[in-house]
Amino acid sequence: MPETPPPSLFPLRVRELVFRANGRCLIDHISMVLEEGPRTLILGPNGAGKSLLLRLLHGLVQPTSGELRWGECAPAPPARDRQAMVFQRPILLRRSAVANLRHALRHRGLRGAPLRCRAAGWLERAELSEYTHHPARQLSVGEQQRLALARALSCLPDILFLDEPTANLDPISTLKIERLILQAHAEGTAIIMVTHDLGQARRLGEQILFLHRGRLEEQGPGKLFFKKPASARAHEFLAGGLIL
């Protein structure tokens, strides 16, 4: 009998999400609905709460109040183990490139030939086959980031969160990362990503969330956002102005 697929994690309904710390409201009553299809890019100035929102969505940080609801089912499907996250600075084990992938796959229950095959396949997709047995931490920053991304994608997550995955990378490394993201999305992985690179946001952002001081100022299709943002702050932000 074919296995029934697990219930979808979408739509994601966020209701009145608040995160307070040290007397400050860092995530300020965010409500939104995210559908599965569009690649979602989160934009906003430094300190707007982008990374914090990503961590709240991924369940790394617990909200002070408010609700996150994945999918239509009650009780909600287990979300965390169907998600993966890639950070700005890759966090790799002090082992070879392939051992980093194998470790993640073992954690997901894979063993033997399927595990070895999947690890090798993802190293190849990330153009890292020649570094299979190299110590991961000796790879260049761009290669390390591709390895971190390949490790996340090798677990076939339903959702991939990325927090500025190409900050500090050159244009070629950036495009290689973007290509992997686009392929993963085409293969059914939902993408929710933070970037400061507006060119990248234009290339990848089918939906934009614009944050300012912990508030969701604007949510809308990428094309519309870049052509005619609804809020004055987003307009300033796109024009490169200082927004307070």
Ligand X SMILES: Nc1ncnc2c1ncn2[C@@H]1O[C@H](COP(=O)(O)OP(=O)(O)OP(=O)(O)O)[C@@H](O)[C@H]1O
User: Where do contacts with ligand X occur on this chain (CB under 6 A)?
Assistant: 21, 26, 44, 46-52, 61
Least CB distance to ligand X at residue 197 (A):
12
Return the number of the residue (57 or 149) whose C-beta is nearest ligand X. Answer: 57
Encoded tokens for 114: 């399927």
Return the number of the residue (122 or 237) whose C-beta is nearest Mg ion. Answer: 237
207 with 32: CB under 8 angstroms?
no
Radius of gyration of the chain (CA): 18
Return the number of the residue (86 or 139) whose C-beta is nearest ligand X. Answer: 86
- Could you say whether residue 8 binds Mg ion (CB under 5 A)? no
- Could you say whether residue 196 binds Mg ion (CB under 5 A)? no
Phi first, then psi, for residue 206 (nearest 5°) are -85, -25
In 3D, which of 65, 55, 77, 60 has the Cα closest to residue 11?
77
Q: Give the up-direction half-sphere exposure of residue 131: CA atoms within 13 A in the CB hemisphere.
A: 23
Return the number of the residue (143 or 164) whose C-beta is nearest ligand X. Answer: 164
Could you say which of Mg ion, ligand X, none residue 49 binds, taking C-beta under 5 to 8 angstroms by partner kind?
A: ligand X
- Could you say whether residue 89 binds Mg ion (CB under 5 A)? no
Least CB distance to ligand X at residue 213 (A):
9
Least CB distance to ligand X at residue 195 (A):
9
Least CB distance to ligand X at residue 41 (A):
13
Could you say which of ligand X, Mg ion, none residue 32 binds, taking C-beta under 5 to 8 angstroms by partner kind?
A: none
Binding residues among 32-71 for Mg ion as defined by CB under 5 A = 51
Return the number of the residue (4 or 46) whose C-beta is nearest ligand X. Answer: 46
Return the number of the residue (8 or 51) whose C-beta is nearest ligand X. Answer: 51
Could you say which of Mg ion, ligand X, none residue 52 binds, taking C-beta under 5 to 8 angstroms by partner kind?
A: ligand X
Least CB distance to Mg ion at residue 49 (A):
8
Contacting residues toward Mg ion, per CB under 5 A: 51
